[in-house]
Amino acid sequence: MIIMKINKFTVIGAGTMGHGIAELALIAGYEVWLNDVNDEILKNALNKIKWSLTELQKKGKLKGETDQILSRIHTTSNLEEALKDTDFMVEAVIEDINLKSKIFAKADEVSDGILATNTSSLPISEIAESTKKPERVIGMHFFNPPVLMPLVEIIKGKLTSDNTVKETFQVTKNLGKEPVLAKKDIPGFIVTRILFRLLETSCYLVESGKATIEDVDYTAKTELGFPMGVFLLQDNIGIDVDYLIMNSMTKRGFEIYNCEIIKEKFEKKEYGVKSGKGFYTHPAKIVSGKIIDPSFIISSAVNEAYFLLKEDVASKDDIDKSCKLGLGWPKGIFDYANQIGLDKIRNILEFLEKETGEKHFEPQF
């Protein structure tokens, strides 16, 4: 299956991610079909796309007129209409594998195009089981907000064809994004796994009384150059999102230190920015804290990067690019490893393994 031209580009789900992806496809020149469950959601999405295009035009970052670009969008609450004969679909609904599977089954039935899912953690191969042609199913993980964030993780399922990967890479570039490839369909792919490793060491430091939340974030920002530290970043992502993704990944074999403070915040419905309170009361920014050893914060993330490399999940360049473009780090994870020194990181990991009894802290290098 070689797609010479995409005549119909479909986005299923018109929420924050969906309408952002639809906007990217419009800017790239595609005819776009945007679907959601009712017209009110679609109307709201259109308004947000129009506002965003207008802002881009004001800043001189848009080729063409807003009205001309918007003339290429078609909205419908009829799923089959949106999917019928589509050449390229991106599904961007909530992280519910049953809902995603139903959408993919319908898409498989009414089209012959490439079927991509914008998931940060759910297995592509499981979603592909709902189709008769799993070779055309692929992961395409955009970052929030899609219009501004440069990275897209492309994830190859067990049966995804090489041609589907090549076509998806080209579409990603057409959308103005930088693709990285997860060659194996493991829970959390690249970025989410590294992010959760950062979170687990930070949780350990706080829960063991070695540091406060403010200490961790202040150190992460000033010593490592992480724009929003660790905990403030979780508040912005949504602690509920973290908690649910973490549970989904652990069910599928991902081992991680049990972070009680994440669970507590989730149960109190203190989700972060969206609820007004999480690890911080919002609006909030990182102001001060005690400087702790930054090597401790990043140790497990470095270990994960070496695991991904060892298991041939991703290339060294793609892992580094994922950290810089997906997490906003000033340099790649292997640069941090070289700067700190692997001997020091190994000592920290061995300490963590002994203290927590968690075998996944065993050094991977």
pLDDT above 90 coverage of the chain, percent: 98
For the stretch 222-262, pLDDT in tens is: 999 999 999 999 999 999 999 999 999 999 999 999 999 99
Q: Which region, left, alpha or beta, applies to residue 289 given φ > 0 means left and ψ of -120 to 50 means alpha?
A: left
Q: Are residues 176 and 263 in the same domain?
A: no
Q: Are residues 137 and 255 in the same domain?
A: no
Domain membership of residue 260 (yes or no) is yes
Look at the chain and count its residues. 365
pLDDT tops 90 at residue 3: no
Q: 137, 155, 182: which is the final residue of a domain?
A: 182
* Nearest of 136, 184, 124 to residue 164 by alpha carbon: 136
Using pLDDT thresholds of 50, 70 and 90, give the confidence band for residue 1: very low
Domain membership of residue 272 (yes or no) is yes
For the stretch 307-344, pLDDT in tens is: 999 999 999 999 999 999 999 999 999 999 999 999 99
Q: Are residues 109 and 219 in the same domain?
A: no
Total number of domains in the chain: 2
Q: Are residues 278 and 135 in the same domain?
A: no
Query: What pLDDT does residue 47 have?
Result: 98
Mean pLDDT of 112-121: 95
CATH number at residue 13: 3.40.50.720
- Entry pTM: 0.95
For the stretch 168-224, pLDDT in tens is: 999 999 999 999 999 999 999 999 999 999 999 999 999 999 999 999 999 999 999
Q: Which domain holds residue 151?
A: 9-182
Query: What pLDDT does residue 41 have?
Result: 98
Query: What pLDDT does residue 65 have?
Result: 92
SS (HEC) of 263-317: HHHHHCCCCEHHHCECCCECCCCCCCCCCCCHHHHHHHHHHHHHHHHHCCCCCHH
For the stretch 154-171, pLDDT in tens is: 999 999 999 999 999 999
pLDDT tops 50 at residue 269: yes
Using pLDDT thresholds of 50, 70 and 90, give the confidence band for residue 4: low
